[in-house]
Amino acid sequence: MSTIQPVQSQMQTEKAMYEHVIPAGDGWLHDLLPGQILRIVDMEGNQAVDTLFYSTEDPTDHYSAVRTITHQGNLYLTTGSTLLTESGKELLRITADTCGRHDTIGGACSAQSNTVRYAHDTLPMHNCRDTFMLMLSQRDEYTKRDLAPNVNFFMNVPVTPEGELTFADGISAPGHYVELLALAPVTVLISNCPQLNNPCNAYNPTPAKVLIWDAEGANANV
């Protein structure tokens, strides 16, 4: 599938209420209010930013790749995509995207998947599942049952005509970003992928940045 034309944001960086750099391999957990806008920035290019979304009002109601894909009739996420939960609730909408498309079926790396994809001696290496678990452990309302299929922002995972996944070279670049508008109270969980075995990031995990505009500030920007 070809890359969608980029859609630039109208948000002004200097008016963001929040800004944070997530080092490669680290996690980030944050609650968004309706109307707030989250921008995720691929600072150095082709860095997979594994992300989970939860309804803050019902933490068991998490992002659903199946419902989202079915609703939009497209495997990939880009500007205009509405992210739905398992119950069908609208959580967020992508309002700007300079990368072109984002994976929602490739999943997150884990100790087990690393051994299958690469080699058994990768078992002790840090991975996104570990980061997700570490971040969720900071809140009493979550357990490991709340791990769910995630979005891989900036990751390129084409599907072959036979239905197989291929982890291909990235299509992102330094400074590319995706922006999401919260349609409901939503909890965002990020694992900035520490993967050292996949050539798509040149075997070099890099930082990502997140910025947030509040609803009032967002309206003032547009």
Per-residue pLDDT of the chain (222 residues; tens, 9 = 90+): 444 778 999 999 999 999 999 999 899 999 999 999 999 999 999 899 999 999 999 999 999 999 999 999 998 999 999 999 999 999 999 999 999 899 998 777 754 554 545 445 544 455 788 899 999 999 999 998 898 889 999 987 767 666 666 655 678 999 999 999 999 999 999 999 866 456 566 667 899 999 999 987 665 554
Show Cβ contacts of residue 11 under 8 Å, excluding neighbours closer than 6 positions: 37, 39, 96, 179, 211, 213, 218, 221, 222
Q: How many residues does the chain have?
A: 222
68: which 2 tokens?
């989202």
Q: Which is nearest to 175 in space by CA: 37, 9, 30, 5?
A: 9
- Residue 64 carries which DSSP code? -
> Phi, psi at residue 113, to the nearest 5°?
-65, -30
